[in-house]
Chains A and B, each alone.
Chain A
């Protein structure tokens, strides 16, 4: 078991034109590495929702994907405002996104639930005024079907 293959992207604040580019590259990388398509799909959804969160809420941040034979791990880290109540933020429909984000089809309080739905494990560490780190992983040992 060697060191995981790592890809990392800087995600800019409020850049809606570029948002999703990082996730697109991650998807291409996973495909290139021969990861099963069901896993790629789940990883793409997690990465994209996490990337949108960095753009919308985190004030930008870093998106990092670690790929090993055992798992695909997606880490989204920002130095943004933090999440005061993570449990509340996980609730479907709860959102603090502004209207301009909702008008684009996001910010309806589905992002974190979507990430959870597609991950085998999810950890969110957040401190108000310090930032948030989200770590989601998908096991590669099983079939790679829906979580």
Chain B
């Protein structure tokens, strides 16, 4: 699913990277506030849902080639976070919904969770 369609589905606000919304493709979603978990499980093409707003969120996304980041429950990322994302052309979105609600809406729209290798996926 395109990031643009997800943004519409959630009524999310786009902070930067608007030019990529029509092309960036989301194959999976991972929702976490623990970046090491994200580093362990998020595959390329994974949209990250998080409530953390610091610059390391962008670095994590860069390491993993994530297509976009969505901040939940209206949390606004820090200035340096938005600056780095703009530099590297990573779309940032904000949803006023909670992590659970956001996850539920995307799950219902049919986007798969990241496979967990430890359970044989």
How distant is the Cα of A104 from the Cα of B65 in the complex, in angstroms? 20
CB distance from A101 to the nearest CB of B (A): 10
Contacts A105-B35, A114-B39 known; A20 to B59 CB distance under 8 Å? yes
Q: Is the CB of A104 within 8 A of B52?
A: yes
Interface of A is mostly: helix
Interface size on A, residues (CB 8 A): 25
**Residue tally, chain B, CB below 8 Å to A:** 22
What's the Cα separation between A104 and B117 when bound, in Å?
Answer: 25
Nearest residue in A to B51 (C-beta to C-beta)? A105
Known: A44-B63, A110-B34, A113-B40. 5 other contacts (CB 8 A): A27-B63, A44-B64, A105-B33, A105-B34, A108-B37
> Which residues on the B side are within 8 Å of A126 (C-beta)?
none
Binding site for A on B (CB under 8 A): 33-37, 39-40, 44, 50, 52, 54-57, 59-60, 62-65, 80, 117
Complex contacts, A44 vs chain B, CB 8 Å: 63-64
Q: Does A94 contact B (CB under 8 A)?
A: no
Chain A residues in 8 Å Cβ range of B34: 105, 108, 110
Give the contacting residue for B56; candidates A19, A41, A111; CB below 8 A: A19
